[in-house]
């Protein structure tokens, strides 16, 4: 099994932080870097998956961007999902799995009545 790709979900609001995040990938072994969604200009050594972004629909756009990567055939099965504000500050061999615990606890923590409609 080879190295995983790094996938960035890019909306139109992506800024210069993306450049810093891309530079920080020197600290992480990876295969290709993909930009899915909005395509900022002036970036090199990245694969591009342009996805039309709908105004004021951030979450729908993010889903469409992720789907674009997952449905294309050139990516790796395992990949790192990054945003422009993710930075690899020191060398690591792989990104550890981080999560907030069981989904039931996460939902309960929001306290917005979500538990009544979720059977997690």
**φ, ψ of residue 42 in degrees (nearest 5):** 80, 10
Number of domains in the chain: 1
Position 111 confidence tier, pLDDT thresholds 50, 70, 90: low
What the block records as the tokens of 89 is 């500050």
Q: What pLDDT is attached to residue 110?
A: 75
pLDDT digits (tens, 9 = 90+) for 68-91: 999 988 889 899 999 889 999 999
pLDDT digits (tens, 9 = 90+) for 31-73: 999 999 988 888 889 999 999 999 888 889 999 999 999 998 8
Higher-scoring residue by pLDDT: 112, 42: 42
Cross-strand partners of 82: 8
**For residues 117 and 120, what is the distance between their CA atoms, to the nearest angstrom?**
9
Residue 9: domain span: 5-117
């Amino acid at each position: 099994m080879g190295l995983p790709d790094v996938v960035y979900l890019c909306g139109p609001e992506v800024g210069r932080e993306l450049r810093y995040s891309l530079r920080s990938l020197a600290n992480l072994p990876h295969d290709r870097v993909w930009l899915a969604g909005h395509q900022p200009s002036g970036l090199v050594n990245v694969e591009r998956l342009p996805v039309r972004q709908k105004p004021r629909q951030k979450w729908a756009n993010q889903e469409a961007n992720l789907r674009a990567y997952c449905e294309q055939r050139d990516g790796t099965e395992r990949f790192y999902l990054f945003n422009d504000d993710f930075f690899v500050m020191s060398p690591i061999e792989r990104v550890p799995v981080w999560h907030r615990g069981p989904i039931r606890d996460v939902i309960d923590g929001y306290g917005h009545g979500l538990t009544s409609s979720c059977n997690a």
